[in-house]
Amino acid sequence: MNGHMPVDPEEYFTQVAAGLDGLALVPDEVLWEIVTRDGACMQLYRLDLEPEWARDELTDRELAARICAHCPVQWECLELQLRTSGEHTLGVWGALSAEDVRALHPVWQSRRQSQGRRRGGQDGGQE
């Protein structure tokens, strides 16, 4: 993720949703622990630091690109936000603006639902 909107948003959101597949089975509390411990913005908050660009006039996408650029837990942060706020997201999370997280949410949700159905089938569940 880089905070830049690509030429084809649908394809972009499909790729981002696919990138989150590996986190599907990680419990919420584990994601929460990882994000609050290692998130770049959390470090700034803990150290009470203000980035040099904090007072710049930035769009949400520009802010996401700056604050999250070197964050090591972008995927975990985005996964957690999709689970907890999803279509009602506000602010910047996982290197995406709120607008982009809201657009990603139905793509992510539909992918998860179809994976859940497949897993149910593999585990002997009824489809």
Q: 1, 33, 24: which is closest to 82 by C-alpha?
A: 24
Give the C-alpha separation, 93 to 82, whole Å: 9
- Give whichever of 73 and 107 is closer to ligand SF4, judged by the CB atom: 73
If one asks whether residue 67 binds ligand SF4 (CB under 6 A), the answer comes out as: yes
3-class secondary-structure state, position 93: strand
CB 19, min distance to ligand SF4, A: 13
Map the footprint of ligand SF4 across residues 96-125, applying CB under 6 A.
Answer: none
93 phi and psi, to 5 degrees? -145, 140
Question: Would you put residue 43 in left (φ > 0), alpha (ψ -120 to 50) or beta?
Answer: alpha
Comparison of 31 and 123: residue with beta carbon closer to ligand SF4: 31
Contacts of 78 (CB under 8 A, 6+ apart): 1, 16, 20, 93, 94, 95, 96, 101, 104
Question: Using CB under 6 A, which of the segments 10-18, 21-29, 72-80, 109-117 binds ligand SF4?
Answer: 72-80
With CB under 6 A as the contact rule, which of the stretches 10-18, 32-40, 104-112, 115-123 interacts with ligand SF4? 32-40
3 touches ligand SF4 (CB under 6 A): no
Give the nearer residue to ligand SF4 in terms of CB position, either 8 or 90. 90
Binding residues for ligand SF4, rule: CB under 6 A, are 35, 39-42, 67-68, 71, 73-74, 77, 92-95
